Chains A and B, each alone.
Chain A
Amino acid sequence: MNKNIDDIENLIQLEHLRDSAPPTNGGGLGLFANLVKVLGSSTKTNDKLEALVNYFALADNKDKVWVIALFSGRKPKRAVNTTQLITWCIEVTDLPGWLFGESYHTVGDLAETIALLLPETISSEQQHESKPLYFYIEKFKQIEKQDESVKRKFIIESWEQMDQNERFVFNKLITGAFRIGVSQKMMVNALAKFTSLEASVIAHRISGNWDPSTTTFGELLNENPAITDYSKPYPFYLAYALDEEPANLGDPDNWQVEWKWDGIRGQVIKRNNQLFVWSRGEELMTEKFPEYSCLKDLLPDGTVLDGEIIPSIDKKPLPFALLQTRIGRKNVTKKNLQETPITFFAYDLLEYNYEDWRNKPLSERRKQLEAIIRPLTTPTIILSPVISFSDWNELAELRQTSRENGAEGFMIKRKSSLYQVGRKTGDWWKWKIDPLVIDCVMIYAEKGSGRRSNLYTAYTFAVKDGEKLIPFTRAYSGLTDKEFAEVDSFVKRNSLEKFGPVRTVKPELVFEIAFEGIAASNRHKSGVALRFPRINRWRKDKKPDEINTLEDLKKMLEVYGTKPQS
């Protein structure tokens, strides 16, 4: 039908692309550097998508695999550390170390700072060869165990053969993650455009436990994968925030309501008699939670569960802060296991008997889920309860008890909903409770990073305690760019002292801070730790003597707080 016309059009477009591709880089790292530049500077989703499709059309297959890996959060071997990188940059540029530091504080990104400081050996306009992306990544692996002198030589010689854009991505490969404004969803869509696979299939294929150095593009994205990866998770289905009255959702009978837990969204997979635990960030976390190992014997083979990873005792969730202390550890001690036992609050069933259940309605999945979990007696896995309610008003009242129940509101799911891929509107909603708020004054400021480089955008806030100001939280987000610029200019004009990158500021600007929870903490001077603090609004109408007090914070702790187990 139209297929042929499409093909011809694609072909013409491809030719056109080849003609208009930047002449400076025949492929390889240059092509990738150009992609990163476009993705980083485009303000339109379509332009980004187009840039990705173009890249996949032109790039070497091995490079493509690496780009998929990098943009889905995988990292190459770390061949050199940042200290070495900085040292060599200082050697090459012959600048004092402090000036490197000042430059870094202004740029806010190490890879970019180095790219900007190195003397130009090849200008971006100049025609030059550029080696493939995979060449560098393989080389990193080779030199990882070698002498520092070998590494130094490789890095400096590589810099000399690159223009500034290439140096930037090269340094990025060394220093870590590419966060450049391209979502996994966008990459999946670009790949779907480029291959004949469905976006949902691609999302599934590129998730999980594959190694970009041994996986070929064909293996990753051919139509029938030959090798089974038992650990492979499904892409998560994500909900949108409910932005209207729940009554508009219609008949309550069509909806299943659960508490919205404040833990880590996770998938528990039992296949081939092995257990795998994935976080929503696609991190394999099986080893982090030894408690879950019992699930290997309890769950039927070929089962995939969706739920919340959360510390709890007697089915009652503990504060998120405690989960964080667990995740941060390399080794989990016996004491950890006793104090913060991790439970899996299961709420969905994605695979049963090795069969993909995502296209069955939620009601059916829930029924089977209950049949699997109910008979289990371990505290390690429980069913996330379904809330019974007769009308939306009743639910609204129940929602006020969220904090007492260790939840941050409700999840509202259509009983007939299929388990979709990514964030989709219509069937799943999160109905969160309003945050807690407190008025406070800014006392310290620090420069931000990335798109906030060279602007004072990270602030520390204080409440009153008699005449004293007690710092109690930091926050980085919640103001508009214009407001940030205004505060930045205030900081520059009203700083009292400098401690490294931190400036103490005249306590004059009042802000309302919103947060999701409060817990006692003996690591903080104020005695409290806030969960997810951010600036709610700038209270230009308030003077510093009208802010809240430490007493107010302590009252909040009493009412809403969760005390750590000791």
Chain B
Amino acid sequence: MALIEFTDKGLCCPQGKFYIDPWKPVDKALITHAHSDHARWGSKSYLCHTYSKPILQLRLGDNPYQTVEWNENISINGVKVSFHPAGHVIGSSQIRVEYNGEVWVVSGDYKVVDDGISGQFEPVPCNTFITESTFGLPIYKWKLPEQINKDIQNWILKNQEEGRTSVIIAYSLGKAQRVLKAIAEVTQNIFVHGAIYNIHATLMQAGWNLPAVKRVTNETKKEELAGSVVVAPPSADGSSWMKRFTPYSVGVCSGWMQVRGNARRRNVDAGFAMSDHADWAGLLQAVKATGADKVFVTHGFQAQFSRFLNENGIEAAEVKTEYGNDEEEGPTALTAAEE
């Protein structure tokens, strides 16, 4: 019996009788982060990081939630479990599982650079590492967060000069909060879509210090919107909801914007290759830092990334999961509705 098994309900620890990010209802679900492909509805009880709880409550409703801090050791049916920062979004964690001296780490989604809001990714030594591979090709190389922020700020200033509203498309949990910090450095006139407002309000209530934003409603006047910055989720892009901002420019924040074709397909005015996932170098760095002698690769370019690891002396295998069907994960998610 392996410490973690890949079942049709998700990643299962039979010894501890729990699942990690299951995609079907189970008795006990450990949740790496609150994105909806990792945190699904219907399980009897949930264990997550303290920061994730308010968002899970918002998205999944009232359930028995147990929370832990990073690096806090707990025991579940004799299996030692701890959460460690994954740097992906607020509250996102890698989950370390130990039994009989054997250690597995489930990364969930992660990025190794510090975005100033999601926590600094912590390498956790282990025997077996389960990694994502959303951007597992060497064409994906991110600019530093400060540089991307500057690009976005310059774009906003240019739009203001030309009298256009800047509409920024960003995922409601993660990218939206990151981008708001950058926007707040150049303007106070910030509006957000309802989906983003809900998360924003939840986080503020939980004690997060985020820039002040206004919700776009049917009562919002055109004069208020002139020259403002609007943050909206991907589902809003191209919808009639956008018309009220005319004249406006659309900028999309997504790792997929790294490739010109994606930006052209989206027909956006500006693409910012900003991601909450590790780029190629980040994935390699994370895998090496764990010292794992076995790596399982989930959602993304798993075939390519695991082949590369194998050729470079790290035993790796692909695993089929149901992650990556929303949020930023697949290029198709760009056109899919988010909420």
Interface-forming stretch among B34-42, B80-88, B104-112, B258-266? Answer: B258-266
Q: A453-B259, A481-B335, A482-B335 are in contact. Are A102 and B264 (CB under 8 A)?
A: no
Interface-forming stretch among B44-52, B114-122, B267-275? Answer: B267-275
Measured CA separation A316–B297 after assembly (Å):
62
**Which residues of A are found within 8 Å of B336, using beta-carbon distances?**
485
Say yes or no: B308 contacts A96, CB within 8 Å.
Answer: yes
Measured CA separation A447–B124 after assembly (Å):
37
Say yes or no: A453 contacts B261, CB within 8 Å.
Answer: yes
Q: A41-B270, A451-B261 are in contact. Are A102 and B330 (CB under 8 A)?
A: no
Q: A41, A98, A481: which has the most chain B beta carbons within 10 Å? A: A41
Query: Of B139, B147, B268, B332, which contacts A103 at CB under 8 A?
Result: B139
Query: Of B261, B301, B304, which contacts A107 at CB under 8 A?
Result: B261
**Which residues of A are found within 8 Å of B308, using beta-carbon distances?**
96, 99
Q: Does B203 contact A (CB under 8 A)?
A: no
Q: A41-B270, A41-B271, A103-B139 are in contact. Are A485 and B334 (CB under 8 A)?
A: yes
- Residues of A34-82 whose CB lies within 8 A of B: 40-44
Q: Does B314 contact A (CB under 8 A)?
A: no
Q: Mark A102-120, 1 if CB is under 8 A from B, else 0.
A: 1100111100110011001
Say yes or no: A117 contacts B332, CB within 8 Å.
Answer: no
| Closest residue of B by beta carbon distance from A100 | B138
Q: Does A489 contact B (CB under 8 A)?
A: yes
Secondary structure of the A contact surface, majority rule? helix
Please report the total number of B residues contacting A with Cβ < 8 Å: 29
Q: A41-B269, A451-B261, A454-B261 are in contact. Are A93 and B335 (CB under 8 A)?
A: no
**Which residues of A are found within 8 Å of B334, using beta-carbon distances?**
485
Say yes or no: B260 contacts A102, CB within 8 Å.
Answer: no
| Closest residue of A by beta carbon distance from B139 | A116
| Closest residue of B by beta carbon distance from A41 | B263
| Closest residue of A by beta carbon distance from B143 | A123
Say yes or no: A106 contacts B259, CB within 8 Å.
Answer: yes
Please report the total number of A residues contacting B with Cβ < 8 Å: 38
Quote the shortest CB–CB distance from A383 to chain B (angstroms). 44
Quote the shortest CB–CB distance from B305 to chain A (angstroms). 10
- Residues of B208-260 whose CB lies within 8 A of A: 258-260
Say yes or no: A43 contacts B259, CB within 8 Å.
Answer: no
**Which residues of A are found within 8 Å of B139, using beta-carbon distances?**
103, 106-107, 113, 116-117
Say yes or no: A106 contacts B137, CB within 8 Å.
Answer: yes
Measured CA separation A451–B256 after assembly (Å):
12
Say yes or no: B260 contacts A109, CB within 8 Å.
Answer: yes
**Which residues of A are found within 8 Å of B294, using beta-carbon distances?**
none
- Residues of B286-339 whose CB lies within 8 A of A: 301, 304, 307-308, 311, 330-332, 334-336
| Closest residue of B by beta carbon distance from A451 | B264
Say yes or no: A102 contacts B304, CB within 8 Å.
Answer: yes
| Closest residue of B by beta carbon distance from A102 | B304
- Residues of A477-536 whose CB lies within 8 A of B: 481-482, 485-486, 488-489, 492
Q: A43, A93, A488: which has the most chain B beta carbons within 10 Å? A: A43
Quote the shortest CB–CB distance from A88 to chain B (angstroms). 16
Q: Does A442 contact B (CB under 8 A)?
A: no
Q: Does A385 contact B (CB under 8 A)?
A: no
**Which residues of B are found within 8 Å of A553, using beta-carbon distances?**
none
Q: Does A251 contact B (CB under 8 A)?
A: no
Quote the shortest CB–CB distance from A84 to chain B (angstroms). 20
Quote the shortest CB–CB distance from B152 to chain A (angstroms). 14
Say yes or no: B332 contacts A455, CB within 8 Å.
Answer: yes
**Which residues of B are found within 8 Å of A218, using beta-carbon distances?**
none
Measured CA separation A123–B142 after assembly (Å):
12
A-B contact pairs, 7 of them (CB 8 A): A43-B268, A98-B307, A117-B139, A120-B141, A452-B265, A453-B259, A481-B265
Instruction: Please name the 6 residue pairs, one residue from A and one from B, whose CB atoms are nearest each other, closest first.
Output: A453-B261, A451-B264, A116-B139, A485-B335, A485-B332, A451-B265
Add 6 more A-B contacts to A40-B260, A102-B137, A453-B259 (CB < 8 A): A42-B269, A106-B139, A113-B139, A116-B139, A481-B265, A492-B332
